């Protein structure tokens, strides 16, 4: 395999204009990945080559190209090699820091912990956390809801993952370590995650502390006699195909991996959902009616009841179309990849961008219009907020359940409005996640009828 940075540019794929003096588009990419990728596609079409800080990268857009990439085997298009910058976060021995055969088995363990029947266990935990959150709100007020949802989803994840004892002893230390870990994931790290930046030193120190905190929980569990039903129990009881258990370091890595994959993505989806509900009172009214109807049928809102929310589901689906959190899905080409009359040589990267794909007017007419009543897209490779193929997000059902359950609680008790002019709530990308403006402040007021 040739090394990144050593291949010639393609002769058949257009090269994006506007490279800097170093021949690279990296500065523009880092400033706002989604905007850069939109520009690249508008200029070059289905395939666009650019220089991502020394790595030639081909952006591929549209269901046909996306299907080809998602269907390619790992041995040809490697996610693991493209995402090596995540290894210091999750740790060696798990996910992209483990051999593919081990990683695939670990993914199955995650999936086991997220099976539909286990959702009946998570739904009431999410409800309890959301209810505790709003208990302190009072009659009315204002808050930064991005921060609020980020805090809430840390609580829901730790509660579902590690149990109530851990959740209710959540220390400042844990929150700070987790924050330092996240602060080190930015677009520049996709090229050099070992640079001697202060943020990376804090990341490595934070990862060590988080690992220790999680391992001390595992030790306490082993010493106790109680049975647990959370994800930590799933990881502790799981075995590889050769019958061996995960090591404590691997279990800690699985916990961090799960938390990390689901945290900002879910918080972000919840924040956009609230912003768009406040921007579109007509849709919000329909959804409040749907939720009130559910409470009348089943005041506990069990998992089965939560599945009957077509309007809320349509709304979340449209949020994930218009504002997909992850937009630089990457693969390293290990064996030359042939697509139509093009060859993308080994050593290059391929990138898919849901944000760009979800704005193709042939699939989404008038794509900038927010319309939760859009018909479901029939081509599964046209709608890719959760990726596709064998690496499709294992947490998608959990994420949607979580957002739905949180909004049942919020909209049952409160009404919301934007605190600033609607056009000031814009898309920003300070890290690799597309999020609403910082701060993301909305006003709330207790519902009179609730
Ligand atoms: C709205 C929320 C979420 C979004 C938009 C999202 C999006 C994605 C995407 C696009 C991928 C594929 C990346 C690629 O192909 O390169 C992915 C993978 C993954 N997601 Fe999610 N995700 C969300 C929530 C979650 C949650 C809540 C969890 C955990 C419970 C989770 C766990 C994972 C895992 C473990 C993978 C890796 C799969 C693999 O490498 O094969 N995600 N996610």
DSSP 8-class letter at 430 = S
Whether 435 maps to a domain, the answer reads yes
- Mutational pocket test of ligand 1: of 97, 190, 261, the residue with most ligand atoms within 8 Å of the beta carbon: 261
pTM: 0.94
- Mutational pocket test of ligand 1: of 95, 386, 397, 405, the residue with most ligand atoms within 8 Å of the beta carbon: 386
Contacts 24+ apart (CB under 8 A), 16-25: 16/40, 16/43, 16/44, 16/48, 16/49, 16/50, 17/43, 19/50, 19/51, 23/51, 24/51, 24/52, 24/53, 24/54, 25/50, 25/51, 25/52
Whole-number Å distance, alpha carbon 296 to ligand 1 midpoint, is 34
How confident is the model at residue 4, as a pLDDT? 59
The SS3 call for residue 55 is: strand
Kindly provide the residue ranges of all beta strands, DSSP E only, lying in 103-256, ordered along the sequence: 140-144
pLDDT digits (tens, 9 = 90+) for 127-177: 999 999 999 999 999 999 999 999 999 899 888 888 888 788 766 777 788
Whole-number Å distance, alpha carbon 431 to ligand 1 midpoint, is 16
Q: In what order do the strands lie in the sheet with 77-78?
A: 47-52, 55-60, 349-352, 329-333, 77-78
Low-confidence ranges of the chain (pLDDT < 70): 1-6, 170-171, 187-196, 449-450
Minimal CA–CA distance to 35: which of 23, 21, 18, 22? 18
Whole-number Å distance, alpha carbon 19 to ligand 1 midpoint, is 31
Minimal CA–CA distance to 61: which of 319, 351, 330? 351
Whole-number Å distance, alpha carbon 213 to ligand 1 midpoint, is 24
Whether 6 maps to a domain, the answer reads no
Whether 11 maps to a domain, the answer reads no
Whole-number Å distance, alpha carbon 395 to ligand 1 midpoint, is 6
Dihedral sign from CA coordinates of 230, 271, 268, 365: positive
CA distance 365 to 324: 17
Residue 340 gets the label, from left (phi > 0), alpha (psi -120 to 50) or beta, of left
What's the Cα-to-Cα distance from 86 to each of 94, 169, 185, 204, rounded to whole Å?
11, 27, 8, 12
User: Which atom belonging to ligand 1 lies closest to the Cα atom of 257?
Assistant: 35
Whether 120 maps to a domain, the answer reads yes
Residue-wise over 432-442: b if at least 16 C-beta within 10 A, else e?
A: bbbbbeeebbb
Taking CA atoms only, the protein residue closest to ligand 1 atom 31 is 395
Taking CA atoms only, the protein residue closest to ligand 1 atom 8 is 386
Residue-range definition of the domain harbouring residue 215: 26-446
Whether 172 maps to a domain, the answer reads yes
Whole-number Å distance, alpha carbon 327 to ligand 1 midpoint, is 12
Q: Would you state the structure tokens that stand for residue 382, as one six-digit string?
A: 């046209």
Whether 5 maps to a domain, the answer reads no
How confident is the model at residue 446, as a pLDDT? 97
Dihedral sign from CA coordinates of 341, 344, 345, 346: negative
Dihedral sign from CA coordinates of 294, 299, 302, 304: negative
Counted domains in the chain? 1
CATH of the domain at 359: 1.10.630.10
CA distance 246 to 260: 19
How confident is the model at residue 304, as a pLDDT? 86
What's the Cα-to-Cα distance from 7 to each of 20, 37, 255, 402, rounded to whole Å?
19, 21, 38, 44
How confident is the model at residue 193, as a pLDDT? 59
Q: Are 15 and 38 in contact (CB under 8 A)?
A: no
Whole-number Å distance, alpha carbon 234 to ligand 1 midpoint, is 19
Whether 278 maps to a domain, the answer reads yes
Taking CA atoms only, the protein residue closest to ligand 1 atom 37 is 393
Pocket of ligand 1 (CB under 6 A): 79, 107, 110, 114, 258, 261-262, 265-266, 269, 325-326, 329, 385-387, 391, 393-395, 398-399
Strands 414-418 and 337-339: unpaired
Whole-number Å distance, alpha carbon 258 to ligand 1 midpoint, is 9
Whether 51 maps to a domain, the answer reads yes
């Amino acid at each position: 395999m040739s090394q990144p940075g050593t291949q010639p540019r393609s002769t058949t794929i257009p090269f994006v204009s506007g490279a800097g003096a170093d021949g690279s588009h990296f500065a523009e990419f880092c400033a706002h990945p989604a905007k850069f990728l939109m520009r690249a596609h508008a200029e070059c079409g289905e395939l666009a080559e650019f220089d991502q800080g020394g790595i030639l990268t081909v952006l591929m857009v549209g269901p046909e190209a996306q299907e080809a990439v998602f269907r390619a085997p790992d041995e040809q298009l490697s996610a693991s090699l493209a995402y090596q910058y995540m290894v210091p976060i999750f740790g060696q021995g798990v996910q992209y820091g483990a051999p593919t055969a081990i990683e695939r088995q670990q993914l199955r363990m995650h999936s086991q912990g997220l099976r539909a029947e286990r959702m009946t266990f998570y739904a009431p935990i999410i409800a309890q956390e959301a209810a505790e959150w709003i208990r302190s709100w009072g009659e009315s007020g204002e808050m930064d809801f991005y921060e609020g949802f980020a805090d809430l989803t840390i609580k829901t994840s730790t509660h579902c993952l590690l149990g109530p004892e851990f959740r209710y002893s959540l220390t400042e230390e844990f929150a700070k370590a987790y924050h330092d870990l996240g602060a080190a994931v930015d677009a520049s790290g996709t090229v050099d995650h070992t640079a001697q930046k202060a943020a990376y030193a804090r990341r490595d120190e934070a990862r060590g502390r988080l690992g220790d905190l999680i391992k001390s929980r595992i030790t306490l569990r082993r010493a106790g006699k109680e049975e647990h039903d959370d994800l930590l129990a799933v990881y502790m009881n799981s075995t590889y195909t050769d019958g061996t258990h995960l090591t404590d370091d691997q279990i800690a890595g699985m916990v961090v991996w799960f938390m990390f994959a689901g945290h900002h993505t879910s918080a972000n989806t919840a924040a956009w959902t609230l912003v768009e509900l406040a921007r579109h009172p007509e849709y919000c009214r329909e959804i409040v009616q749907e939720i009130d109807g559910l409470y009348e049928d089943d005041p506990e809102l069990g998992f089965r009841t939560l599945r009957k929310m077509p309007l809320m589901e349509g709304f979340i689906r449209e949020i994930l179309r218009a504002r997909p959190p992850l937009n630089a899905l990457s693969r390293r080409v290990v064996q030359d990849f042939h697509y139509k009359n093009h060859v993308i040589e080994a050593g290059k990267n391929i990138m898919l961008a849901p944000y760009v794909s979800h704005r193709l007017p042939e699939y989404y007419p008038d794509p900038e219009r927010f319309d939760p009543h859009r018909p479901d897209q029939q081509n599964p490779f046209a709608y890719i907020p959760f990726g596709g193929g064998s690496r499709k997000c294992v947490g998608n059902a959990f994420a949607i359940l979580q957002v739905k359950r949180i909004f049942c609680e919020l909209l049952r008790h409160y009404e919301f409005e934007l605190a600033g002019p609607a056009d000031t709530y814009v898309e920003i990308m300070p890290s690799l996640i597309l999020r609403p403006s910082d701060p993301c402040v909305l006003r709330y007021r207790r519902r009179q009828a609730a």
